[in-house]
Structures are given as C-alpha cells and as structure tokens.
Amino acid sequence: MGYQPVILALCCHYCAYAAADLAGAMRLQYPSSVRVLRFPCTGKIEPNYILSAFELGVDGVMVAGCLEGGCHYQEGNLRARRRVERVQQLMKEAGLEPERLEMFNLSSAEGTRFAEIVTLMTERIAKLGPSPIRAQIGASAIASDAIPEPPQVVAQGEAP
Ligand code: FES
C-alpha cells in the first residue's frame, strides 16, 4: 500500500484501549499510521471532537467502545453510537464520505480484532484517498501535537 491514511482511533479505556494494548503485547501487525487516543468511555466523545479531527486533516476516525451491554457507564457506548450516526449525517451533508467514520464495539480481550479493525479502516480509507479537507488546509502530515489531549480517565462509577 503506497498512501498511508492517518486514522484517529478514539478508544474507551476499559475495552478498545486495552485491546490495543493487547494487540501490542501480542506483537500483532497493523498499520502504524493509526493514532490511539484514550477516553474514559466513548460516551465522553462529543461530536465536535470528531469534527475537529477532520478539520485538522485526519483521513478517518474510528470510535471504539465496549460491547453493547458492557459499558462501564451503562449507556455511554449507545450514546456514542447515536453521536457517530449524527456526525456521519453531517459529513454527508458537507460532502465528506461518511465511511471515513465508524463505531466499533469490542472487548478488552479482542487484541486480534482491534488489529483487524485498524487494518479494515486503513484499507477502506486508502481506497477513498486523502481527506479533501487535508488538501484544502494544505497539510501533508498531521502534527501529533495538533490533536488535543482527551479527557482523563476517571474512576469507575464516576460519570464520564
Ligand atoms: Fe467502554 Fe463506556 S464504552 S466504558
């Protein structure tokens, strides 16, 4: 694969981030252009956070949360799915392919699946090509310090 899209993975601390960690511990191969950001829960991911990532020129965003019924904050991942669908609609209206954004649910034990998801998103975005927003802002690469820090992980039971 020539062109390597920049993918932002917004991961829940309890599942997807742990799965990403596990994929690393298992030394699984997946595209290195993914940037993983950890959130206390996907319910903490506001639509403007996703939109800001696209405005900064990332090519794709994956939101990865706990399995349905497994969110440590009860319904955070369900709220996240609704937000992702809303942002996909906004992207469509703005002329940006909604396939550049997707929500996944996985458990902390699914390191292999995490690697598969990153590979799937990378291949999909590579077919779509660089984000048209990146071309508009003239960015050839995304500076990692341009991506703001996510909120800190809070103790289980506290509202995210
Ligand atoms: Fe994992 Fe809510 S999605 S704690």
CATH of the domain at 13: 3.40.50
Count of domains observed in the chain: 1
Residue 152 lies in a domain: no
> What does the block give as tokens for 119?
């590979």
| Per-residue DSSP letter, 140 | S
Look up residue 131 and give its DSSP letter.
Answer: -
CB atoms within 10 A of CB 21: 16
CA of 64 relative to ligand 1 center, distance in Å:
9
> Does residue 58 sit within a domain?
yes
Encode the chain (160 residues) as per-residue pLDDT tens digits. Answer: 567 899 999 999 999 999 999 999 999 999 888 999 999 999 999 999 999 999 998 999 999 999 999 999 999 999 999 999 999 999 999 999 999 999 999 999 999 999 999 999 999 999 999 998 877 776 655 555 555 555 554 444 454 5
CB-defined site of ligand 1, < 6 Å: 12, 14-15, 41-43, 65-66, 71-73, 76-77
**35: containing domain:** 7-143
Answer whether residue 39 is part of any domain.
yes
Count CB-CB contacts under 10 A for residue 41.
27
